[in-house]
Structure 1
Amino acid sequence: MKTTLDELLAFTTVVDSGSITAAAEQLGQTTSGVSRALSRLEEKLEVTLLQRTTRRLELTEEGQAFLHQARKIVASVEEAEEQMALRRQRPAGRLRVNAASPFVLHVIVPLVPGFRALYPEIELELHSSDQIIDLIEQRTDLAIRIGPLRDSTLHARPLGSNRLRMLASPGYINAHGHPTSVENLSEHSLLGFTQPDSLNQWPLRHAMGLNWPITPSIKASSGETLRQLALEGTGIVCLADFMTAQDRAEGRLVQVLEAHTVDVQQPIHAVYYRNTALASRITCFLDYVSEQMKL
């Protein structure tokens, strides 16, 4: 049976304080509890560490030799605890974040300078993936997921939401005109996703419901690829506001079928595998991103 830290701490405290009673008071334990810890330690080591008399405790030769190592172990644990406390105050270490490439490019990358200024000791790693990954397999601390969550084994923290809009470039509109109705979309070039099919259900109000299934003229796995295609005047696309806000503000993309568009807010979550309190480097990143997304 292996020696425990409580037993080592009982031993060193008894030696330092001069008695079992004083050690018990210092450790906030009972005298009998400290005495039993010492007895267990001696049984495990199969040596006598302290000679007990009615007046005093005296280290044996074995006890003197063991005391040096015991002090080093206790000091190492205390130093490690101090380091963890320091990291809570000044978060440090590697933070590996996974998100779809459009979210990395349009949301996280602009926030990196401010985040690094606040937390220079965090080693940030950004991984882009347009597919859902296994966090444990990819050794990832957290991932950003957009849309409804499907994996109930993950802990999730909401970061915000983003509206979906149908958009096209002025060049495309000049060449092909605005679609005049939802049904009129069949006469236009539509840009959609390779998967999942749910992303090709556009939030448009029509006689049969509130979603319009499209047949894409061009498909891509990445929203950023579809954005670039739309900017080139290739067709009409349905994308979230977080990746098109600047394009709309500067007139590179314009909304179409606005009167028919259902106000759908895509939820954005950070997901992670944790059953205990989050590491401070993860918490401060989530707090920072969440706060900036509200601005």
Structure 2
Amino acid sequence: MNITLDELQAFVAVVDTGSITAAAQQLDLTISAASRTLGRLESKLKTTLLRRTTRRLELTEEGRVFLQDARAIIASVDSAEEQMAARRERPVGRLRVDAATPFMLHVIVPLVPGYRERFPHVELELNSNEGIIDLLERRTDVAIRIGHLKDSTLHSKPIGSSRVRILASPDYLKTHGPPKNVDDLAKRSLLGFSQPESLNVWPIAGPDNAPLHITPTIWSSSGETLRQLALAGAGVVCLSDFMTGNDRREGRLVQVLPRLTEDSRQPISAVYYRNTAISSRIVSFVDYLVDAVRGTEFAR
């Protein structure tokens, strides 16, 4: 049957205004277009909804019954549109956010109270995965990714960038001595990533003047695990400022070979699938995150 909303609105308008001419004016249609729309509706229903006389239009019994349903359908659509408009102005519902454990712990978690205060109707679901996930498979609305993006199927918005530094604890350096050059560094216990291998390229020139590709003594897939190992004095590590800023300021970690270290930064982006319309929940969270980190150490 495939009755359209336009046909229902035309029928109700004719009833409410009392004529096809007035209904056409209300709907911004020509009289012939309004008449054809009403005719299509009656044809689809295989019944007469209105009796046309020279003086007026009268509802048939079938028309009176159908009018109630038509009004209910139009009201339901109007209500749905109003709810969507309200959601755009006041985000509502569950928002699933994914980020690697370090970013989740050191950046997102401290911002949650402020975000919830501003957007109390958004239910946050925070998940951590160390690798790149399929957003659809994991039912994720927005993910935070660190590094250069390759997936062209995703929308992305830059959050900031974070410098990476070579670090060790004061106790480790006291016991083993601070390395004086790259050759010294290679003799230390190096803490590195089991994946991705690109994170084991450190921002310091190796023997061939290219960035140093280290072979870890201790491996982990988690940057937070490597941070904890460095704090415990297990070796030298290379990590982003967003997770080690407080450690450096409070003296728990010390930068190693700062004069030889290049200013290397990792871009940080929020990613989400390309949709015809991005939900207000995603917009509210990403914009809040961008505003919160603006001017901070890792956003520069």
Which residue of 2 is the match for residue 143 of structure 1?
143
Which residue of 1 is the match for residue 261 of structure 2?
261
Per-residue CA shift, 1:262-293, capped at 9, x if unaligned? Answer: 11110011111123231111101110001111
Which residue of 1 is the match for residue 230 of structure 2?
230
Query: CA, structure 1 residues 210+262, in 2 after alignment: closer, same or farther (shift >3 Å)?
Result: farther
Aligned partners of 1:99 and 1:143 also within 8 Å: yes
Q: CA deviation at 1:183?
A: 2.1
Matches within 5 A, 1:87-126: 87-126=87-126
* Length-normalised TM-score, structure 1: 0.98
Aligned partners of 1:190 and 1:235 also within 8 Å: yes
Matches within 5 A, 1:147-226: 147-206=147-206, 208-226=208-226
> Which amino acid in 2 is paired with 1:115?
Y
> Which amino acid in 1 is paired with 2:15?
V
Which residue of 2 is the match for residue 59 of structure 1?
59
2:58 counterpart of 1:79: no
Aligned partners of 2:206 and 2:213 also within 8 Å: no
Moved over 6 A (4+): none
> Which amino acid in 2 is paired with 1:110?
P
Which residue of 2 is the match for residue 242 of structure 1?
242
Q: CA deviation at 1:206?
A: 4.2
Q: Distance in 1 between matches of 2:177 and 2:28?
A: 80
Aligned partners of 1:210 and 1:262 also within 8 Å: no
Q: CA deviation at 1:30?
A: 2.0
> Which amino acid in 2 is paired with 1:257?
L
SS in 2 for 1:204: strand
> Which amino acid in 1 is paired with 2:112?
V
> Which amino acid in 1 is paired with 2:231?
L
Aligned partners of 1:192 and 1:199 also within 8 Å: yes
Query: CA, structure 1 residues 37+235, in 2 after alignment: closer, same or farther (shift >3 Å)?
Result: same
Which residue of 1 is the match for residue 275 of structure 2?
275
Calculate the aligned-residue CA RMSD, in Å. 1.0
Gaps of 5+ in 1: none
SS in 2 for 1:225: helix
Aligned partners of 1:95 and 1:141 also within 8 Å: yes
Q: Distance in 1 between matches of 2:210 and 2:24?
A: 71
Q: Distance in 1 between matches of 2:28 and 2:105?
A: 54
Q: Distance in 2 between matches of 1:195 and 1:115?
A: 32
Identity of aligned residues (%): 64
2:47 counterpart of 1:47: yes
* Length-normalised TM-score, structure 2: 0.96
Q: Distance in 2 between matches of 1:154 and 1:183?
A: 42
Aligned partners of 1:206 and 1:260 also within 8 Å: no
SS in 1 for 2:274: coil
Q: Distance in 2 between matches of 1:166 and 1:32?
A: 77
Moved more, 243-252 or 51-60: 51-60
> Which amino acid in 2 is paired with 1:70?
A
Q: Distance in 2 between matches of 1:176 and 1:14?
A: 89
2:6 counterpart of 1:16: no
> Which amino acid in 1 is paired with 2:222?
S
Per-residue CA shift, 1:99-141, capped at 9, x if unaligned? Answer: 1011000000000000000000001110000011100111111
Which residue of 2 is the match for residue 29 of structure 1?
29
